A and B are shown apart, each in its own frame.
Chain A
Amino acid sequence: AQTVTQSQPEMSVQEAETVTLSCTYDTSESNYYLFWYKQPPSRQMILVIRQEAYKQQNATENRFSVNFQKAAKSFSLKISDSQLGDTAMYFCAFWPRLKETSGSRLTFGEGTQLTVNP
């Protein structure tokens, strides 16, 4: 079984500054995907960024980037130039790439509530 841990229940940042959200995971799988989702007050879950475990290069999507440390089983999200619209709950999620017949599912962390202050 996989577990995902987000040790920061709440964080705040000033507009235009940079913030990093932490995530660690535990798995015996060697092939998997990692995701960051954001859930704003509307409750709509939005995919922010994904990382494939076999890729050493860290994923980047505009102002969002990750620091993927496979050996340490760490997957942090960095948000640059924070905007008010970034205020949301952020979830780290793990998805093992299993055989077709085995089935697999997303396992989520507890979430980090990020507030961007003007």
Chain B
Amino acid sequence: KAGVTQTPRYLIKTRGQQVTLSCSPISGHRSVSWYQQTPGQGLQFLFEYFSETQRNKGNFPGRFSGRQFSNSRSEMNVSTLELGDSALYLCASRESRDNYEQYFGPGTRLTVT
């Protein structure tokens, strides 16, 4: 099976802009989670989607949002970008909510200038 894919891999945006990141899970996986990784804060959970519904949300402002489509692909949106949003955004998928093994994509490196 193909692994988790994320697009784009690299992105440069300007403060105030918005950005959309995409994640395609492993075929058959229905749950998609998003994480933010920064040198200062480490790995932090953003949210999880299952069956097109957000099931869990981390402690991030409302500028961070996401959605999941019927084919389990997920998008994450960040509006009104701030310099502090510069990070590696990782997407992870798992087969079901009863399966606790997550498989990660290669990440999207977002740089905000």
> Interface of A with B (CB < 8 Å)?
33, 35, 37, 42-47, 50, 91, 95, 97, 100, 103-111
**A residues within 8 A CB of B75?**
none
CB-nearest residue of chain A to B54: A103
Report the 6 A-B pairs with minimum CB-CB distance, sorted nearest first: A103-B56, A45-B104, A108-B43, A105-B45, A33-B100, A44-B106
Query: Would you call A43 and B102 a contact (CB within 8 A)?
Result: no
Task: Give the residue among A35, A37, A105, A107 with the most B Cβ atoms within 10 A.
Answer: A105
> Interface of B with A (CB < 8 Å)?
33, 35, 42-43, 45, 48, 55-56, 58, 88, 90, 92, 97, 100-107, 109
Query: Would you call B33 and A50 a contact (CB within 8 A)?
Result: no
List, sorted by A's number, 29 A–B pairs whose CB atoms are closer than 8 Å: A33-B100, A35-B101, A42-B106, A43-B88, A43-B107, A43-B109, A44-B105, A44-B106, A44-B107, A45-B90, A45-B92, A45-B104, A46-B104, A47-B101, A50-B101, A91-B43, A95-B100, A100-B97, A103-B55, A103-B56, A105-B33, A105-B45, A105-B48, A105-B56, A105-B58, A106-B45, A106-B102, A108-B43, A109-B42
